[in-house]
């Protein structure tokens, strides 16, 4: 068998323009954050600030997340083959799951370091914390703004947006702790901010972890209601009933559905099929596979007759 067999796909190139602009946004976000991470790490070591070092570590995790998401976007565009008939679309789901796990590992590191420093406080430079974290507020806010427009369209983009929005708040927290140290000399506020950072990351990551895990297990995507989709199919003209319905994610942006549909009149089969695909497309399900059956006929998978 030739390996260049054409695999038919239901999706055209309607995602390409969005993909291109998102690629550019990811590259800008990565470049901005790499420069800032290097500067923040250096300042953290120089001024002995765990607040800065832990924030830089979290930002480095975000850079890694952005790079992974960018790779996943590129893989999602690879054409299907005879071995990977859906292409590599699912890599976008695996990357969002991996990113959530990476962030939770970072939380453990930050908590450990913060507790150690809380027990053994060391003096830090409040002024340095203020100006470095101040730059961080700007960098993170700009990056979050870049992803804001597309955050509801894709789990990876939402993840990037949430990380950057959380980072913005975290940097504001570091600025506040720097000001407190400058005016009161209360050094314990630095590791306390580290603990707050960890809590913020857990809250911003939890939903991403849950959604990614659900999609990895081929669960019904969060924005899909199985019952409502069932009612839409049952309420479509010419449909007698349906069974064996499955809804799952092909990627973080594409949803698939398969079901057996019982049609009232065989002559209207094509009409019913087209109408169903049209109504399901409006619900955001772009890859629909239907098995049409007549009332009373034997369904192999049911082990009995259709309703």
Mean pLDDT, residues 179-203 taken together = 84
Bridge partner residues of 293 (DSSP): 262
**pTM, two decimal places:** 0.73
Mean pLDDT, residues 111-140 taken together = 83
DSSP result, 80-121: P-SS-TTTTTTHHHHHHHHHHHHHHHHHHHHHHHHHHHHHS-
What are 130-140's pLDDT values in tens digits? 888 889 899 98
What are 82-107's pLDDT values in tens digits? 999 989 989 889 988 888 887 788 78
- What gap in Å lies between CA 294 and CA 241, rounded to an integer? 10
Query: Over 90: is that where the pLDDT of 288 sits?
Result: yes
What are 49-81's pLDDT values in tens digits? 776 787 787 778 778 878 888 888 888 888 989
Query: Over 80: is that where the pLDDT of 199 sits?
Result: yes
Given the structure tokens 């979050």, which residue do they identify? Answer: 144
Q: Give the pLDDT band (50/70/90) at residue 6.
A: very low
Q: Are 95 and 175 in contact (CB under 8 A)?
A: no
What are 263-283's pLDDT values in tens digits? 988 888 899 999 999 999 999
Burial class of 98 by CB neighbour count within 10 A (0 to 12, 13 to 18, 19+):
middle
The pLDDT value given to residue 11 = 45
The pLDDT value given to residue 307 = 46
The pLDDT value given to residue 133 = 81
Which has the closest alpha carbon to 187: 290, 114, 260? 114
What are 18-55's pLDDT values in tens digits? 555 877 888 888 999 899 899 888 888 888 777 678 77
The pLDDT value given to residue 119 = 87
Per DSSP bridges, beta strands 255-263 and 239-249 are: antiparallel
What are 229-261's pLDDT values in tens digits? 999 999 999 999 999 999 999 988 889 999 999
Q: Are 113 and 54 in contact (CB under 8 A)?
A: yes
- What gap in Å lies between CA 87 and CA 72, rounded to an integer? 12
Helical packing angle, 189-216 and 155-184, nearest 10°: 170
């Amino acid at each position: 068998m030739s390996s260049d067999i054409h695999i038919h796909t239901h999706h055209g190139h309607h995602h390409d323009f969005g993909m291109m602009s998102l690629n550019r946004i990811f590259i800008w976000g990565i470049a901005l954050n790499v420069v800032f991470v290097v500067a923040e790490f250096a300042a953290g070591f120089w001024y002995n600030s765990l607040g800065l070092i832990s924030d830089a570590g979290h930002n480095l995790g975000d850079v890694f997340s952005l790079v992974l998401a960018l790779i996943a976007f590129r893989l999602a565009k690879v054409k299907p083959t005879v071995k990977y008939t859906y292409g590599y679309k699912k890599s976008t789901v695996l990357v969002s799951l991996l990113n959530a796990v990476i962030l939770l590992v970072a939380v453990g590191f930050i908590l450990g370091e913060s507790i150690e420093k809380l027990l053994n406080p060391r003096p830090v430079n409040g002024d340095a914390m203020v100006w470095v974290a101040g730059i961080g507020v700007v960098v993170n806010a700009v990056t979050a703004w870049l992803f804001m427009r597309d955050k509801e369209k894709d789990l990876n983009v939402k993840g990037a947006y949430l990380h950057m929005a959380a980072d913005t708040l975290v940097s504001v927290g570091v600025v506040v702790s720097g000001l407190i140290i400058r005016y009161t000399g209360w050094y314990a506020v630095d590791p306390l901010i580290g603990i707050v950072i960890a809590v913020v990351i857990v809250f911003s990551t939890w939903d991403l972890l849950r959604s990614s895990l659900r999609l990895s297990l081929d669960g019904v995507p969060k924005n899909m209601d199985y019952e409502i989709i069932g009612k839409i199919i049952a309420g479509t003209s010419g449909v007698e009933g349906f069974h064996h319905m499955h809804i799952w994610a092909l990627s973080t942006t594409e949803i698939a559905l398969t079901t057996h549909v019982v049609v009232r009149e065989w002559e209207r089969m094509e009409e019913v099929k087209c109408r169903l695909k049209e109504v399901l497309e409006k619900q955001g399900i772009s890859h629909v596979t239907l098995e049409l059956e007549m009332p009373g006929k034997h369904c192999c998978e049911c082990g009995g007759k259709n309703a």
